[in-house]
Amino acid sequence: MSSIQIGDLVIRKSHGGDVIFKVADIYMDPAGGKPLTVLKGMHLRLLADAPVEDLERIDAEHLRNEIVRMEGMHNESLKRVMMRRSLERENFELHRSESSKKYDFFDLPGRVLHIDGDEEYLRMCLKTYGQLNIEAVGRCIEETKQPDAVIGLINEFRPDILVLTGHDALIGSGKKSFKDMNNYRNSRYYVEAVKKVRTFEPDRDDLVIFAGACQSYFEAILGAGANFASSPTRIFIHAYDPVFIAEKVAFTPINRTVDVGDAISASVTGIEGVGGLETRGKFRLGLPKTPYK
């Protein structure tokens, strides 16, 4: 039996070590009797299968370099968001009426319900929502069960923005049809969940939805009623992509539509990984700011 164990951080030799994975499970191939693994992307929302013999553990230096690279991307995204907000507030203050300048406004951004099939990713995302000053509630629910759970959670938390994500992938080998739902690991569950939500709340501006993960069936998810989805070119998306899309919606004023290009460029992956539709923002200003909060 191979020395590869559940929990190990590995790369796939056949793919040139392009993605770092954590080994989520090891099982015996019922056909060939060889050990196979289920792999979960370390920072990419990808679930993949691979034979144990194709895997190679990464060393500490490789892991350290990957963490530094990914944290750098994350921090750069946070910096861009905060810079954008600062400029928007400066512009707002510049155009305030003299009478309103006697009072301080308070911010009320949109609230997020984030349902994620991966507990580690959910923790990472909730931490980032906190850094972005967004009220967010998270629940870890595997992709197959999200359609059954989503309406109850919306009733409980009444969010402005719903995120449905986790893992996904194109499956099988050889030439694949991107229009065949059977070629996607979890896209059908995102589609089903979005459809259920739209029977409950059909207005895309009243409840904004981001749905999908790596290589998801973008067109089907949008067609089901999502505002934003992955993945237009079937590439891998980053764990934080849904967060930065949600942030742009949460902090765009309700009297404006979200600039789709700006929202997509605010994500880590960009336009090849996420896309969407014109959507009204969820940000409100309140007056006056009291000393009791």
pLDDT tens profile 43-58: 888 888 889 999 999 9
Token couple for 92: 């707002």
In 3D space, the residue among 119, 142, 93, 128 whose CA is nearest the CA of residue 242 turns out to be: 128
* 137-144: average pLDDT: 97
Q: How many residues does the chain have?
A: 293
DSSP-based three-state secondary structure for 286: strand
- pLDDT at site 293: 67
Angle (CA) 281 283 286, round 5°: 150
Token couple for 30: 């019922």
- Residues near 178 by beta carbon (within 8 Å), at least 6 away in sequence: 170, 217, 234
Strand 106-108 relative to strand 55-57, pairing? unpaired
Q: Do residues 167 and 213 touch, judged by C-beta distance below 8 A?
A: yes
Q: How confident is the model at residue 74 (pLDDT cuts 50, 70, 90)?
A: confident
* 226-255: average pLDDT: 93
- pLDDT at site 1: 39
Q: Side by side, which strands form the sheet with 112-116?
A: 136-140, 112-116, 161-165, 208-211, 228-229, 275-276
Which sign does the torsion angle of CA 219, 221, 227, 231 carry? negative
Q: Residue 2 pLDDT more than 60? A: no
* 208-216: average pLDDT: 96
What digits encode the pLDDT tens for the residues 164-193?
Answer: 999 999 987 656 789 999 999 999 999 999
pTM for the structure as a whole: 0.87
